[in-house]
Structure 1
Amino acid sequence: MSFTVEERGALNSLSYRLFFKNAEGKYISPFHDIPMYADESQKIFHMVVEVPRWTNAKMEIGTKDLLNPIKQDVKKGKLRYVANVFPHKGYIWNYGAIPQTWEDPAHKDGDTGCCGDNDPIDVCEIGSKVCSRGEVIKVKALGILAMIDEGETDWKVIAIDVEDSEAKDFNNIGDVQRLKPGYLEATVDWFRRYKIPDGKPENKFAFNDEFKDKDFAIEVIKSTHNFWKDLISQKTGAGELNCKNTCVSVGDNSYCCTADEAKAAVETHPCGKAESIPSSVDKWFYFEKK
């Protein structure tokens, strides 16, 4: 199963969109149409890369837009870039999401005591390769971190690309601790402090800031897949989410998006010339650890 992407709008601008196609050239939703499992028997998942490692642009699947293209997050009319909080430069992993998952904002998690954040479940891919935006890779889960972001549960799956040269050596969260010393601590530090330059408080974590293991991670992923299934089958209200898709829903289902409708949606975003990234994005921020 292979996927390609089509850029529309102008990179580094409010108009930028990255649309997805399947092997047949059919426009699809990366949220709904890409299967969660790449290999269910081996518990291998698909991951949609939103943000390549070392970059700052806060790109994400547009859950409220038709076909859910990747676009840059916006706050108060301005594009969002994550700040460099010393010693970190941009995102310190390939960052993205597992398709066909959803953290239900109406469900209070029994472990965290907080409801979901209304997004697909997030993934931090720790392999040696710097991925490309929009790349769909196959990953195995190694563990998970339960971040509490402004009162919402925001799970962070730690995973590795199964085709990475190091993948055979990583099979659980303890392998990350042993073979990449400091990486998990840096991950907690990154998520704890990345919003401080925006005037936000430090993020908190469940389980005393500790990572849970592979089995725990897989169960969380499965539960978010079940929430997504309730969403796409209309057992759960979608709110502002756009659940239109070209592969999952069929017939007269209101979530079914025709090929003509999908093509028209893409064509409303003409191509443009990339704009430059503001020089302020390279600024460093220094904060004393508490």
Structure 2
Amino acid sequence: MKLVSLSFSLSALFVSLAYADNYTTRQIGAPHSKNYKIYIEKDGIPISPFHDIPLFADTTSSTMNMVVEIPRWTNAKYEINKETPLNPIIQDIRDGEPRFNYNIFPYKGYMWNYGALPQTWEDPNFITEESGTIGDNDPIDVIEIGEKIGYTGEVKPVKILGVIGLLDQNETDWKLVAIDVNDPNASDMNDISDVEKKYPGLLNDTIDYFRKYKIPVGDGPNEFMFSGKAQDKEYAIGQIMTTHNHWKKLVSGDIKENNIEKTNLLVEGSPYKVSPNSKIILNIPPVNLLPAVPIDPKYERWYYV
């Protein structure tokens, strides 16, 4: 595979760079319910975490913005919703009910902060050479291994360290490995080889978890590219830039995906850009956070697989 150089014009990114401290969340509905939504706001105005938050968090292109969907040690399967205008974070639905991931012994929920890089898209029309499978139709996933527990909707600047090539339901589902730039260990973490030095066993446990985590719902074990070996930073950057280029074609209208909401406020040149005074923005309800719905006890059990 030919890797993509980072020495490109920043104007090609469509949007100016922005920093994580500009972002807040607007929560609507009851957590753990079908009506719960978390909108991301910039300066108090709802924006799309899929389209409006820049991929890069600094002018050196060495730090990337991660949108946290699932905080460490939690089970609720929150994700950026592609079908709703401005792509709020919602709880995924499976078999008509809010989805939770099971506790696979000895793992309690997710062992890292889990989320996605904005302005990326794993195109389901694109076949990955290394796997021979199509993309999973989502922004590229990130596991963030720093010590601070994030929160759903947090925009976290991270350093990319490498990538795991997961094959999930016969789709390519990259899992980037990253660390918060503000983590105490961040200065010592520069590539995938540093993960084992600083966090021995973490990568092996991550592979083990992703292999097993859908077995309790009746799916088989997942498989991996490269026999489960995590690839280095250079390779990971190549995959990020591939998915970023796919996103650019999507949001510019070059790729027609009718099931994906492409409404945005900040992507220059996009035919889907709207004004902050548009009805789509003004019709988003104000903050209305309700008490969380109790979680079914089955999601608190250990599952031995």
**Per the shorter chain, which TM-score range?**
over 0.9
Q: Flag the 1:16–1:205 CA change in 2: closer, same or farther, 3 A.
A: same
2:281 alignment partner, SS class: helix
Amino acid at match of 1:30: P
The size of the alignment, in residue pairs, is 285
Q: How does 1:156-235 map to 2 (within 5 A)?
A: 156-235=175-254
Q: Quick one: distance in 1 between partners of 2:46 and 2:182? A: 26
Relative distance call for 1:99 and 1:283 in structure 2 (3 A) is same
Letter in 1 for 2:267: V
Tell me whether 1:9 sits opposite 2:61 in the alignment. Answer: no
CA distance in 1, matches of 2:23, 2:87: 15
Q: Which amino acid in the other structure matches residue 63 of structure 1? A: K
1:168-224 Cα offsets, whole Å, 9 max, x none, are 111110100111110000000010000000000000001111110001101110110
Residue pair 2:27, 2:288 contacting (<8 A) in 1 also: no
Aligned match of 1:241: 260
Amino-acid identity (%)? 44
- SS across alignment from 2:60: helix
CA contact (8 A) 2:264 2:272 kept: no
**Gapped runs of 5+ residues in structure 1?**
none
| 1:78 shift after superposition | 0.6
Write the distance in 1 (CA, Å) between the matches of 2:235 and 2:31. 38
Partner of 1:279: 297
1:263 match: 281
Query: Which secondary structure state, in structure 2, belongs to the residue aligned with residue 123 of structure 1?
Result: strand
Is 195-204 or 231-240 further displaced after alignment? Answer: 231-240
Which consecutive unaligned segments of at least 5 residues does structure 2 have? 1-18
**Contact preservation (8 Å) 1:139, 1:162:** yes
Check whether the contact 1:56–1:91 (CA below 8 A) recurs between aligned residues: yes
Confirm or deny: 8 A CA contact 1:19 1:69 kept in the other structure. yes
Which residue among 151, 157, 164 is the counterpart of 2:170? 151
Q: Does the C-alpha gap of structure 1 residues 265 and 207 become closer, same or farther in structure 2, counting only changes over 3 Å? A: farther
Partner of 1:187, secondary structure, is helix
Provide the C-alpha distance between the structure 2 equivalents of 1:241 and 1:35, rounded to a whole number of angstroms: 19
- Residue number in structure 1 paired with 2:66: 47
- Which secondary structure state, in structure 2, belongs to the residue aligned with residue 60 of structure 1? strand
Q: Equivalents in 2 of 1:206, 1:87: separation in Å?
A: 24
CA shift digits 1:227-281 (9 cap, x unpaired): 0000001111123010111111569x34536433233442299543322222221
Alignment of 1:91-170 (within 5 A): 91-170=110-189
**What is the CA RMSD across the aligned residues, in angstroms?**
1.6
8 Å Cα contact 1:6/1:20 also seen in 2: yes
Distance 1:254 1:214 in 2: 33
Tell me the equivalent position of 2:108: 89
Paired residue for 1:74? 93
Residue 31 of structure 2 contacts residue 292 of structure 2 at CA under 8 Å; is this kept in 1? yes
Aligned equivalents of 2:79, 2:169: Cα separation in 1:
18
Partners of 1:211 and 1:274 in 2: how far apart?
Answer: 37
Mapped partners of 2:251, 2:149: distance in 1 = 32
Amino acid paired to 2:226: F
State the shift of 1:42 in Å: 4.2
Q: Which one of the candidate residues 40, 45, 49 is aligned to 1:20?
A: 40
**Counterpart Cα distance in 1 of 2:282 and 2:186:** 41
Structure 1's 170 and 71: CA in aligned 2 closer, same or farther, altered over 3 A? same
Letter of the 2:279 counterpart: E
2:80 alignment counterpart: 61
Report the Cα distance in structure 1 between the residues aligned to 2:284 and 2:297, rounded to whole angstroms: 31
Q: Distance in 1 between matches of 2:35 and 2:286?
A: 10
TM-score (norm 2): 0.90
Contact 1:9/1:16, CA 8 A, preserved across alignment: yes
What TM-score, normalized to structure 1?
0.94
